[in-house]
Amino acid sequence: METENKILMQDARESLLGNWAVAIQVTVIYILALGVIHVIPVLGTIVSIVIAGPMAVGMAIFSLSISRKQEANVSQLFNGFSKFSLSFGAFILMILFIVLWTLLLIIPGIVAAISYSQTFFVIAENDSIDSMEAIDRSKKMMAGHKWKYFCLCLRFLGWFILSIFTLGIGLLWLIPYVQVSFAKFYDDIKTDVLIN
């Protein structure tokens, strides 16, 4: 039986108790790594594309650790680089597929992005798959769960708007909250598909 989104969010807040300091550190590094590098003309864009996949996998590893009340540390953010080709390949394929679906219409692009939303969590837990298989597993996991995920995302919209009014400082708390909630969502639905 699926857990309600509000319960997943409540569980995420409970998991973050005592872990806010490390979660904020990871968020700052994540934002700096992807945001500041991107500012560098041309080269920055290329580097951002190259590291986005591994960093997303690292964030998934870190968020799953917090979610499962396991030891979490800053170094986990860089664990995705040990799966560089897998995470980079998955990122490129996801962007390509989302762009192609969006060329048809915006809605199919959004649906595709939601379908692929579990890819980096799948990669975080699996070493013996390839990029396309990770995307396929995400699609299978999200079958029948896309609306639930969309509604979970909407629950953070107000918090995101409030964070803008804090000149973005609120994002240091919002991003870990969102990521751990997504990790809770992943663990809640993954039993529907054989992951290992």
Mean pLDDT by 10 residues, the chain (196 residues): 90 96 96 82 85 96 97 96 96 95 89 96 93 96 96 95 91 97 96 52
Three-state DSSP class for residue 34 = helix
The reported pLDDT for the residue numbered 104 is: 83
Q: In this structure, is residue 27 part of a structural domain? A: yes
pTM above 0.75, yes or no: yes
Number of separate domains in the chain? 1
Parent domain of 47: 5-189
By the 8 A CB rule, do 33 and 78 touch?
no
Cα–Cα distances in angstroms (integers) from residue 68 to residues 2, 11, 13, 41, 187, in the given order: 17, 10, 12, 39, 9
Q: In this structure, is residue 41 part of a structural domain? A: yes
What number of H helices and E strands is found in the chain? 11, 0
Residue of 124, 110, 118 whose CA lies nearest to 136: 118
Q: In this structure, is residue 196 part of a structural domain? A: no
Distance in Å from the first CA to the final CA of the chain: 21
